[in-house]
Structure 1
Amino acid sequence: MENRKVKMNEKTNLLELEEHMYPLVDVQSPNVFRNLFPYDEVPKIAFNDRVVPHHMPDDIWITDTTFRDGQQSREPYTTEQIVRIYDYFHKLGGPNGKIRACEFFLYSKKDRDAVEKCLEKRYQFPEVTSWIRANKKDFQLVKDMGLKETGILVSCSDYHIFYKMKMTRFQAMFHYLSIVRDCLDMGISPRCHLEDITRADIYGYVIPFCLELMKLSEEYKIPVKVRCCDTMGYGVNYPGAVIPRSVQGIIYGIMTHAGVPSEMIEWHGHNDFYKAVSNSTTAWLYGASGVNCSLFGIGERTGNTPLEAMVFEYAQLRGTLDGMDTTVITELKEYYEKEIGYTVPSRTPFVGKNFNVTRAGIHADGLLKNEEIYNIFDTEKFLNRPVLVSVSNTSGLAGIAHWINTYYKLPEEKKLDKECELVKMVKTWVDHEYDEGRVTVITDDELTDVIADCCSKLNYDLI
């Protein structure tokens, strides 16, 4: 204890005792944390009440895996679709490059053509990066494509090291470090994907490995990034939860004990337990500059962290969008539905057809009086999506009035209220439909036909 140095932490202005080094613990049999992950039971979340401090980086950003992890769960995009989506990402990320990078496969001609066309755009952001198998031949492919950074898979749990790779921890580390060195020899910045980190021995393997990565980075004077991959979605953000499930515990350990700077740390989450967004936000709060996302959360199994979600998480944490154009999110949703043929589930936040649509009559009455009562924010301003009401047997007069005002974009002086004769006539028709046994929502086309007929009978000019 007496030989350990005391130094000042410039961020917290606190004196801290220098931590001891963490050597590799080369176990003879795998540590699969069976107490936390009994396969024949639901995984367990345990606590030891050890908490770590918040450490929000000076700069945080989003990176994208739509063209890599996102393509592992759906039919491949065409070259033209990839380039178009990349253009949207550039516009969405804004002049400050809040969408910092996109990763691409390089194995098919289609993938390489897409990379070349995206590079021709000469956008500073998102930077075009790749994901490859870890061998010299693939490094040469990255070099030939003119890319500066590539992802490399370095699975880190004993599940992968012992059961999949049939290696010991020492053998796996030696293997990975030699691959990273090959990458650095080519002048390419490696992004090390620490697969299955939420089932890994953080202090017995992950931190010793990251310490060696930082030594290589210093030796070559080339950034070596660390991507923390919550491959199975086991991460939790509860204060005092034990590692390896604790997101903040993982980020703190890599940053504080392995010396990886925030700008070199990235979180990649999956949504198996509905925690992808909260875990990604937690990674930001505790020291990771980057969170890796996929558009609409499309990804393997339950999907990745939705990119659009982290755009609004960023704004809530920072109090600003920093130049991001959120209306592009709606443009992307429309492009996917019209050009790609992918339908976003209707209740998906920010992008689903019904995310800001209410069917309850009492809610519609509140919307008619003041839309702030039942709308999360000005969705028309940020997403070009005015708040809507679906007309059904529960919508009431207020819901019908709100639907007409919104659908026909009536100016303030022409907006209808629930006492309007036109609204009452439409409601009489709606009530009759449900009295006859209807169970489905009234469609927009049906309503416009009925409204036109009612206007004709009342000699009412709606427009």
Structure 2
Amino acid sequence: MAKPAHKYELQEVSEPNLFRDYFPYSEVCKIPFTDRIIPPSLPQDFWITDTTFRDGQQARPPYTVKQIVDIYDMLHRLSGPNGVVRQCEFFLYSKKDKEAVEKCLEKGYKYPEVTGWIRAAKGDFKLVKEMGLKETGILTSCSDYHIFLKLNMTRREAMSRYLEIVKEALNEGIIPRCHLEDITRADFYGLVIPFVQELMRLSGEAKIPVKVRACDTMGYGVPYTGAALPRGIQELIHGLRTEGGVPSEYLEWHGHNDFHKVLINASTAWLYGCAAANGAILGFGERTGNSPIEGLVVEYISLRGDNNGIDTRVITEIAEYFHKELHYHIPPNYPLVGSEFNTTSAGIHLDGVLKNKEIYNIFDTAKLLNRPIGITITDKSGLAGVAHWINTHLELTGDKKVDKRHPAVSKIYKWVTEQYENGRLTSVSSEEMLALAKKYLPEYFVSELDKLKQKAQEMAFHLVEELVEKSEFRTMDPKLQEPLMKKLMEDDPFIQFAYVIDTEGKKTTRNITQVIDKAKYEKFGISEDFSNRDWFLQPIKTGKTYITDFYKSVMTGALCITVSAPIRNIEEEIVGIFGMDIKFEELLKMVNDTSIEEEVIKK
């Protein structure tokens, strides 16, 4: 570890330094410059770290445990045997967070290493110890915006608090990774360097690495030569290494895309001595997102000169997983993974592609990404071209593939030729082709209503299965069950009626309904017999959650479904059935908005 030539002392201030010359809130921020030129210093070994399951999750509906494990598997294969994707970081707070960490640790992969993320609070540190992790990120906000305006502390108080938790980590033999939040608005020599120098002193004494993550929280960092602190990345990384004494291998960059610079900023951090660049799959992250892992992978190969064991084809697998399993829409023109990133539309470009694919393709995308160069449809495409487009874009294989003799193909091609006969000069867009395919091949598409129905059913399953797992519910004691059912009814107004049935088919709970429906259910008393109902018989028989077909409620006249699930005791024996009648149209309204709202409902 290189020792800095000068020891910097913390500069305590009575008022926050908000750098108003550079960040006038009522104007676009400014970029200061100096006359200093810093030479590049690319580390001999550099790598990628992943925040898909931490910062990436803050920008989208939470992943399930299975989805986290699936994505972790793909990151492992993408990384290759040399650990180009070196680490992943995880939240450690909820039951689901902990289960996901445990499942990933069970894989036994060397890379990506599983690490944690906690706040700078001693109480949080026990989570790291409980999970048995070797490294954890610690939130150490370093700008006066955060210290004064959010934490309501002085610089000395904040620094002391951060150092306490770092010392605790070192005492436990755990590597602390200090996340210097908002470093591109921080007083570099008044706080950042004094803090970092102290971290390196503690690291030397403990003979344990103390890592430093430079967090460009608001995307203010700029890659330009001569750009001054606090925004200039060249100055910032150089200063952390030479003035702060941080070895390249302890240094990491984490950026955001508020000003469209997230990838070039990460590359600049690499070039000027930062070993690790942090990112997330598809650039997910708070607000405008983090560096996209797929972009970092290609940039890494370009800078290094070889792939160092990376399997770039996994990039396409990840994109397909997000599309098919998570129903996430990737913009067609999104680099490397969008449906049309390697498709040319301009007629003159199409002519070039037909002569030689290299003219308008970035590299051999078929070999490196399993993505052959795309074609666009014109009057010259023929029936075979239309059939190829349909099979490719609808991902039809085997018996589902259409050939040029399919009636729909000839109808679509007829429409195309008529367009050009009427003077069209541009190629047919994918949106137009998709609309034609939906019109003439409707059997290959799932309707929006069907998608909503599926989402609604998934939500209903989640609610029922979550409740029957609660210890109070397993007791079959109505006094413990009914408060939970009432709370569920309050939180989810689309539920019309909730009830518990014993294994004889007799209702054991009082009528739990919405207030407006209470009088309608007065005839249903305790011990009402439901033993002949499918929603009772099927879970008893199969031990699985059951959902009925649609029916019109006799009580309310609403279109309903019933969802039911077995209740098990601690010996996992079925002791009852929990069911709820759901007003389906009300449930659809809840899932017909954003996916974020869907997740709020689930909680």
Under TM normalisation by the shorter chain, which class is it? Answer: 0.7 to 0.9
Instruction: Please state whether the residue corresponding to 1:90 is helix, strand or coil.
Output: helix
The answer (yes or no) to whether the contact 1:358–1:364 under 8 Å persists in 2 is yes
Residue 32 of structure 1 is matched in structure 2 by: 18
Which of 203, 214, 225 matches 1:239? 225
| 1:108 is aligned to 2:91 | no
Trace 1:338-377 onto structure 2 (pairs within 5 A).
338-377=324-363
CA–CA separation in structure 1 for the residues paired with 2:226 and 2:158 = 30
Matches within 5 A, 1:11-50: 19-50=5-36
**What pairs up with 1:12-411 in 2 under 5 angstroms?**
19-391=5-377, 395=378, 397=380
Going from structure 1 to structure 2, the CA distance change for 1:427 and 1:81 (only over 3 Å counts) comes to closer
CA contact (8 A) 1:367 1:402 kept: no
Alignment CA distance shift 1:340-1:398 (3 Å) = closer
Cα deviations across residues 38-80 of structure 1 (Å, max 9, x unaligned)?
Answer: 0000001121122212111110100000000011111110000
Cα offset, 1:161, TM superposition = 1.0
Q: CA deviation at 1:21?
A: 2.3
Structure 2 counterpart of 1:318, which letter? R
Alpha-carbon distance in 2 for matches of 1:234, 1:159: 14
User: Who is 2:461 aligned against?
Assistant: none
**1:307-348: CA deviations, max 9, x gaps?**
000000001111111110010010011111111111111111
- Asked whether the equivalents of residues 161 and 172 of structure 1 are also in contact (C-alpha less than 8 Å), the reply is yes
Distance 1:379 1:157, change over 3 A: same
1:433: how far off?
A: 3.6
Give the Cα separation in 1 of the matches to 2:157 and 2:213: 21
Contact 1:62 1:293 in 2 (8 A): yes
Residue 274 and residue 123 in structure 1: after superposition, are their counterparts in 2 closer, same or farther (change >3 A)?
A: same
Q: Residue 115 of structure 1: SS of its match in structure 2?
A: helix
Tell me the secondary structure at the aligned position of residue 432 of structure 2.
Answer: coil
Matched residue, 1:441: 432
Q: Tell me the secondary structure at the aligned position of residue 433 of structure 2.
A: coil
325 and 444 in structure 1: CA distance in 2 versus 1, 3 angstrom threshold? farther
Q: Say which SS state the counterpart of residue 20 (structure 1) adopts.
A: coil
Query: Matched residues in 2 for 1:158 and 1:210: separation?
Result: 16
Closer, same or farther: CA 103–360 of 1 in aligned 2, 3 Å? same
How far residue 274 of structure 1 moved from its aligned partner, in angstroms, is 0.2
Q: How does 1:421-436 map to 2 (within 5 A)?
A: 429-433=415-419, 435=422
Return the offset for 1:354. 1.1
1: CA distance between counterparts of 2:293 and 2:118?
22
The answer to whether the Cα contact below 8 Å between 1:361 and 1:396 also exists between their aligned partners in 2 is no
Equivalent residues of 1:364, 1:398 under 8 A apart: no
Question: Residue type of the partner of 1:75?
Answer: P
- Counterpart Cα distance in 2 of 1:343 and 1:405: 22
Q: Which has the larger radius of gyration?
A: 2
Aligned-pair CA distance for 1:429: 4.9
Q: Does the Cα contact within 8 Å between 1:368 and 1:398 map onto a contact in 2? A: no
The secondary structure found in structure 2 opposite 1:442 is helix
Q: Is the contact made by 2:93 and 2:127 (CA closer than 8 Å) also made in structure 1?
A: no
Structure 1 residues 87 and 341, CA gap change in structure 2 (3 angstroms): same
Contiguous gaps of at least 5 residues in structure 1:
1-8, 11-16, 410-424, 451-463
CA distance in 1, matches of 2:299, 2:316: 17
The alpha-carbon deviation at position 237 of structure 1 amounts to 0.5
CA 141–428 in structure 1, closer or farther in 2 if over 3 Å, else same: closer
Residue 408 to residue 175, structure 1, CA distance change in 2 (3 Å): closer
Verify the 8 A CA contact 1:388 1:402 in the aligned structure 2: no
Deviation, 1:186, is 1.9
Q: Deviations over 1:21-41 (max 9, x none)?
A: 222221221111100000000
- Give the deviation of 1:404 after TM superposition: 7.2
8 Å CA contact retained: 2:141, 2:182: yes
Q: One-letter code of the match for 1:305?
A: S
Q: Percent identity?
A: 59
Structure 2 gaps of 5+ residues are 393-410, 442-603
How many pairs are equivalent?
Answer: 420
Letter in 2 for 1:441: E
Q: Deviations over 1:158-214 (max 9, x none)?
A: 111111111221221111111211221222110000000000011111111100000
**Cα deviations by residue, 1:119-175 (Å, 9 ceiling, x for unpaired):** 011100000001012223322221121100001000000111111111221221111
Q: Which amino acid aligns with 1:218?
A: G
Aligned residues of 2:117 and 2:138 also touching (Cα < 8 A): yes
Q: In structure 1, the residue corresponding to 2:194 is in which secondary structure?
A: helix
Distance 1:345 1:220 in 2: 48
Instruction: Tell me the secondary structure at the aligned position of residue 62 of structure 1.
Output: strand
Which deviates further from its counterpart, 287-296 or 138-147?
Answer: 138-147
Amino acid at match of 1:442: M
| Residue identity matched to 2:41 | H
Residue aligned with 1:330, SS: helix
Change (3 A) 1:83 1:407: same
What CA distance in whole angstroms lies between the structure 1 residues aligned with 2:383 and 2:133? 55
In structure 2, what is the Cα distance between the partners aligned to 1:208 and 1:44?
A: 26
SS at match of 1:33: coil
Comparing both chains, which one has the higher relative contact order based on Cα–Cα distances under 8 Å and sequence gaps of 6 or more?
Answer: 1
2: distance between equivalents of 1:399 and 1:224?
Answer: 63
For normalisation by structure 2, the TM-score amounts to: 0.66
SS at match of 2:416: helix
Question: Displacement of 1:350 after TM fit?
Answer: 0.3
CA distance in 2, matches of 1:44, 1:228: 20
TM-score under structure 1 length normalisation: 0.85
Q: CA RMSD in A?
A: 2.8
Is the CA contact 2:379–2:416 (under 8 Å) kept in the aligned structure 1?
Answer: no
Distance 1:400 1:311 in 2: 38
Rounded Cα–Cα distance in structure 1 between residues aligned with 2:435 and 2:368: 24
**Distance in 2 between residues matched to 1:406 and 1:436, nearest whole Å:** 23
| Distance of 2:31 and 2:276 partners within structure 1 | 25
